[in-house]
């Protein structure tokens, strides 16, 4: 009786073994090796759980894509951040496969025709090539599990980022801007990018939602994913400082600009008010000085004579108005 149970025991062990392999690929592994495929609802997950890669469809679309999204521990809904086959979607994810083929990561459609590939040339045997989803949001193709040489990486292909109308547009907006910080000690763990200019480096960072900063100098382009560790500003006279560009939302810049505008406007308004008050004061003073009557003692006061001094050359004259006529009176007349 025990002998009859042995075949069932062996089959049970084999079933558990193969199920565990499939479970590992679907829910735990971060790697696709040469002897593995990804299909249907299977996914690979980065080591820290920050990112997941597999088949998904945006909204109510009937098309499926191979893409990367934030781990569900970070966001409440599936949020794609990178897509491979943007121009060539598939309909049946269970018949399609993502696998290593001839040293490349290749997506085969329902008819097992290749519709997307990393398309790299390598002398490395295809059996040793692996694809790894890193916790930084970078899908890399390596020539072996212990190799540091990257044959291909998704961060160098930002043109594949975003699907039309995808949820990711709500999270990562192209209106984000960069704050320039000179004379800094650059943070740890940068990602080196193969670009040829500062603007290309900026675009590479901007097109990746996970990118928080970039730097470009004679050493090339570097971007940072996630938190910036050990970012430090040096003294002004330090010679080894670098310039880093920190990514910020556009609203943070506009808020700063608005505050600055309010301060400038208030200062300008205060100065303008002071000038207006000063000008009004001068006008009132001049009016009182010019029109203020000077009364001369004597009988002229009885006739309502108003004296107004005028200076012509060195001789002082006076004019008075009486019965609608104007007369000149010299100082001697007044003295009498």
DSSP string, 51-92: EEEEEE--TT-S-BEEEEEE-TTT-SS--EEEES-SSS-BS-
Average pLDDT score over residue span 113-135: 84
The CA-based angle 268-272-276, given to 5 degrees, is 175
- Assign 158 a pLDDT band (cuts: 50, 70, 90): low
Angstrom distances, CA of residue 150 to CA of 214, 256, 297: 20, 41, 108
For 188-243, the pLDDT digits (tens) are: 888 888 888 999 999 888 888 778 899 999 989 999 887 777 777 787 777 888 99
Share of the chain above pLDDT 70, in %: 62
Average pLDDT score over residue span 239-255: 77
Whether the Cβ atoms of residue 42 and residue 25 lie closer than 8 Å to each other = yes
Share of the chain above pLDDT 90, in %: 25
Whether the Cβ atoms of residue 80 and residue 66 lie closer than 8 Å to each other = no
For 75-116, the pLDDT digits (tens) are: 666 777 788 988 899 999 999 999 999 999 999 999 999 999
pLDDT score for 177: 86
pLDDT score for 130: 93
pLDDT score for 172: 56
d(CA 103, CA 100): 6
pLDDT score for 270: 65
- Assign 21 a pLDDT band (cuts: 50, 70, 90): very low
E strands present in 57-210? 65-70, 80-83, 97-101, 104-108, 114-117, 130-133, 139-142, 150-153, 177-185, 191-193
Q: Return the closest-CA partner of residue 137 out of 68, 229, 86, 77.
A: 68
d(CA 251, CA 52): 29
d(CA 266, CA 277): 17
For residue 47 the two structure tokens come to: 């080591």
E strands present in 102-241? 104-108, 114-117, 130-133, 139-142, 150-153, 177-185, 191-193, 211-217, 220-225, 232-233
d(CA 223, CA 202): 9
Which residues are CB-neighbours of 85 under 8 A, at least 6 positions away?
65, 66, 107, 115, 116
Whether the Cβ atoms of residue 82 and residue 138 lie closer than 8 Å to each other = no
pLDDT score for 160: 47
d(CA 136, CA 47): 10
For the whole model, what pTM was predicted?
A: 0.46
For residue 287 the two structure tokens come to: 């009016």
Three-class secondary structure of residue 237 per DSSP: coil
- Assign 133 a pLDDT band (cuts: 50, 70, 90): very high
Angstrom distances, CA of residue 195 to CA of 133, 162, 302: 22, 20, 99
pLDDT score for 204: 87
For 264-322, the pLDDT digits (tens) are: 565 566 666 777 777 787 878 777 766 555 544 444 444 444 444 444 444 444 444 44
């Amino acid at each position: 009786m025990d002998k009859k149970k042995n075949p069932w025991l062996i089959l049970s062990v084999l079933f558990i073994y193969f199920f565990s392999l499939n479970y590992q690929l679907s829910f735990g592994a971060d790697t696709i090796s040469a002897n593995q495929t990804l299909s249907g609802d299977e996914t690979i997950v980065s080591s820290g759980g920050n990112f997941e890669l597999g088949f998904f469809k945006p909204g109510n679309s009937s098309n499926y894509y191979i893409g990367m999204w934030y781990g569900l521990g970070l966001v409440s809904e599936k949020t794609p951040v990178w897509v491979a086959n943007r121009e060539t979607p598939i309909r049946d994810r269970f018949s399609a496969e993502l696998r290593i083929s001839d040293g490349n990561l290749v997506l085969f459609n329902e008819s097992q025709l290749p519709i997307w590939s990393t398309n790299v040339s390598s002398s490395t045997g295809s059996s040793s090539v692996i694809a790894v989803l890193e916790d930084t949001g970078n899908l890399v193709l390596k020539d072996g599990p212990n190799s540091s040489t990257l044959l291909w990486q998704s961060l160098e292909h930002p043109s594949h980022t975003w699907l039309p109308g995808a949820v990711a547009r709500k999270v990562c907006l192209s209106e984000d801007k960069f704050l320039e910080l000179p004379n800094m000690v650059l943070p740890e763990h940068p990602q080196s990018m193969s670009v040829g200019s500062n603007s290309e480096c900026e675009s590479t960072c901007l097109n990746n939602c996970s990118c928080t900063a970039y730097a470009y100098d004679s050493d090339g382009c570097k971007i940072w994913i996630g938190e910036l560790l050990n970012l430090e500003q040096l003294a002004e006279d330090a010679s080894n400082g670098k310039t880093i560009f920190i990514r910020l939302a556009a609203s943070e810049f506009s808020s700063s600009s608005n505050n600055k505008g309010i301060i400038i406007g208030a200062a300008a308004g205060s100065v303008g008010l002071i000038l207006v008050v000063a000008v009004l004061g001068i006008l009132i003073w001049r009016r009182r000085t010019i029109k203020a009557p000077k009364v001369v003692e004597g009988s002229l006061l009885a006739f309502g004579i108003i004296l107004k001094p005028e200076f012509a050359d060195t001789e002082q004259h006076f004019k008075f108005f009486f019965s609608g006529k104007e007369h000149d009176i010299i100082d001697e007349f007044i003295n009498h």
